[in-house]
Structure 1
Amino acid sequence: MTNPGKLLRLVLGAVLIATAARAETLRVAPSRLVEWKSVYGQVETRNRVPARARIGGTVVDLDVSEGDAVTAGQRIARVVDDKLDFQLASLDARLEAATAQLETATADLDRGEELIKRGVITAQRLEQLQTAVDVIQGEIRSLGSERLVIEQQVAEGEILSPEAGVVLTVPISRGSVVAPGEAAAVIAGGGVFLRLSVPERHAGDLVEGAEIEIGSSAGQTGTLVKLYPQIEGGRLQADVEVGGLDPRFVGRRMPVRLPVGEREALLVPEAALERHGGLDFLTIAEEGAERRRAVVPGGTVSREGEAWVEILTGLAAGESVVLK
């Protein structure tokens, strides 16, 4: 008759052998990890151009407000200078008088041409009549040119958008008095990007073309496209292009993670860790035996869709970890 205790030991031994046969091990080797620096980026537009008044006067029409989308050449506001209307009225009166003088001078010249055929007047007198007509015609042309200049000034009372974009600010209102060159609105155009302000100690670790993680959306990334050479106040300015960036709110801040270096780390699959009594353990295979060892885990990284954990202490390179 078989001893029950001996039979139990045989069964447990078979289970342990089968378990050992199924257990897989991972030889730990240092892996390269990217060091990330968390900063905030600010949504900025490529161009921020003021729409300026070309003449001074009073704003009589204001066609836009903050947040409106505008096209290049679209009217922003209209400025009227009453003095220009008075100048136009004065020129019109002078043109009317000069036109009447021209009619009289032309009639005198026509009579003079008839009279010289009959020898009544001299050729010198006819030349004087012709000169009078030429002078009046020249004065009319001059007045016409002056009128065109003033008409152009009146047309320049329309303040136009310098490019397509969104209206950021409108510092004037209807009835405001503006001077030539004063900004009536600020237009943001040319697309949007993230402007970063990075501590200068990381300046040497950044390279143009690096991939940047945007923290506001899982999996969203951008590209570091420009590093500005001038450092101000201990901060380096950098621009990041991000696809699908919301252009509605210029100046909005977004969390960003920058790659600022690399280091070596020991990584194990997250499933290999066991937790008991507030401590984390790994099963180490050494000299044909398995031993549990307390370790201190760090952060978690994703590798090929699986979660891996960095082991800070308790594990050395070259050791074999039993995978569960």
Structure 2
Amino acid sequence: MSGVIAVLGGVLWWRLGPMAVGVVTPTRGPAVEAVYATGTVEPTVMLPIAPRQGGNLAELNADEGDTVRKGQVLARFEDEDLDNTVRELASRARYAQAQYRRNEELAQRGFQAKLELDRIRADREAAEAALKRAEAQRGFLALTAPADGLIIRRDGEIGQFIPTGQAVFHLSCCAPLRVTAEVDEEDIPRVRVGQKALLRADALPGRVLDGEVAEVTPKGDPVARSYRVRIRLTDPAELRVGMTVDANLVVSERQDALLVPTGALRNGTLWLVRDGKLHRQAVRVGVAGAVRSEILEGLEPDAQVVDAPTEDLREGRAARARPTDAKESAP
């Protein structure tokens, strides 16, 4: 009989005795409300360099990663046929010029009709125009850099036929790198030009880079249900074209917010240990982060907050607080 009483006593103690719970004290720190997006580093200005006339690549003088100057010859195409054409037309132009000079002298002496001289002048001008046109076409077979910049892509090998208009090089120039990010259509109303952006890249672990929203495209993608946002980089030197980044576009930021572990919240309420008992406390939540959440109203700075509430917590039940180490972190 005494054994049964002992068992019943143990059950009652387990149900009615003080419950051990882990507690934390709210901390102070920054609370950042932000819109999350993923993006890619890209040139602000990227110029494709393509031939105006198709042909076979005969010479490559630049490659990916090269820094080039405006006017620098990057590649040449086979121009043997055009060279022959230019020589032929140059010979015709010289002959036409010589013919005109001889007939001009005859006309000055009165031995040549003005009408015939006008015809010979027209022949000379036509020959010179044909020569200039052929020389210009030959010039199209040399690809030159339109501005100072960096070659970020090359498509084509020596001997390969490149059609008219197909880019052989892509040149990054004229402006620093930027990030282009895709923002969900539900979040885009909270994004505006001039907004602060915090960027993280897997290629730069532990680094947070600053940026600023420079442009929000007016038309979204109806398939992806997102809008494109351009972010200006404060220090683009550490990034490279093509890197992926995580972007947090800051909507609001408070430096001295009252913070609790996000896991302590249950539908806008916290469990507190006060005077040795459990109490449910309704609070007004501000910025909710993955690790920490901001409490705007309903919580004292020195409160003992149950860090991991469970379903068996009951209002007024005796509790024994067990301090838990909480990692300091912003939302």
**What's the TM-score, normalizing by structure 1?**
0.63
Aligned to 2:302: 321
Q: Which runs of 5+ in 2 are unaligned?
A: 1-24, 262-270, 282-286, 305-322, 324-331
C-alpha distance in 2 between matches for 1:266 and 1:104:
95
- 1:175 to 2:159 alignment: yes
Secondary structure of the equivalent of 1:175?
coil
Q: Match for 1:85: what amino acid?
A: D
Within the candidate set 203, 210, 218, 2:195 is matched to 210
Cα distance in structure 2, aligned partners of 1:95 and 1:266: 84
- Residue 276 of structure 1: aligned partner: none
Higher-Rg member (1/2): 1
Letter in structure 2 aligned against 1:209: G
Residue correspondence of structure 1 range 196-235 to structure 2 within 5 A? 196-216=181-201, 217-232=206-221, 233-235=224-226
Q: What is the distance in 2 between the residues matched to 1:97 and 1:184?
A: 39
- Unaligned 5+ segments in structure 1 are 1-25, 114-122, 271-280, 285-289, 302-307
* Aligned pair partner of 1:157 in 141, 144, 162: 141
- Relative distance call for 1:191 and 1:127 in structure 2 (3 A) is same
- 2:36/2:183 contact within 8 Å kept: no
- Aligned partner of 1:86 in structure 2 is 84
What is the distance in 2 between the residues matched to 1:98 and 1:222? 65
Equivalent residues of 2:210, 2:235 under 8 A apart: no
Among the aligned pairs, what percent are the same residue? Answer: 20
RMSD, aligned CA:
4.4
Whether 1:58 aligns to 2:56 is yes
Find the aligned partners of 1:282 and 1:182 in 2 and give their Cα distance.
69
Instruction: Note the C-alpha offset of 1:319.
Output: 4.0
1:250 to 228, 234, 241: 241
- Displacement of 1:318: 5.9
Aligned pairs for 1:30-41 within 5 A: 33-41=31-39
1:239-265 deviations in Å (ceiling 9; x for gaps) = 1122222476312111222335789x9
Pairing 1:145–2:132 present: no
How many angstroms does 1:171 deviate by?
Answer: 1.3
Structure richer in strand, relative to its length: 1
Q: CA deviation at 1:42?
A: 1.0
Q: Which amino acid aligns with 1:242?
A: L
Cα shift readout 1:173-215 (whole Å, capped 9, x = no counterpart): 2222233323221112221111111111111222222222223
Specify whether residues 94 and 191 from structure 1 end up closer, same or farther in structure 2 by C-alpha distance, changes over 3 A only: same
8 Å CA contact retained: 1:53, 1:182? yes
Q: 1:198 to 1:134 in 2, by over 3 A?
A: closer
Task: Tell me by how many angstroms 1:33 deviates.
Answer: 4.2
Cα offset for 1:101?
A: 5.0
Per-residue CA deviations over 1:54-77 (Å, capped at 9, x if unaligned) read: 233332221111121223332221
Q: Is the 8 A contact 1:80 1:154 kept in 2?
A: no
Distance in 2 of aligned mates of 1:104 and 1:220:
75
Q: TM-score, normalised by structure 2?
A: 0.61
Q: Distance in 2 between matches of 1:79 and 1:52?
A: 11
1:96 Cα offset (Å): 5.3
Question: Where does residue 287 of structure 1 map in the other structure?
Answer: none
Q: Distance in 1 between matches of 2:238 and 2:143?
A: 24
Deviation at 1:44? 1.3
Counterpart of 1:136 (choices 114, 117, 120) is: 120
User: How many residues are paired up?
Assistant: 257
> 1:49 deviation in Å?
1.4
What's the counterpart of residue 267 of structure 1?
258
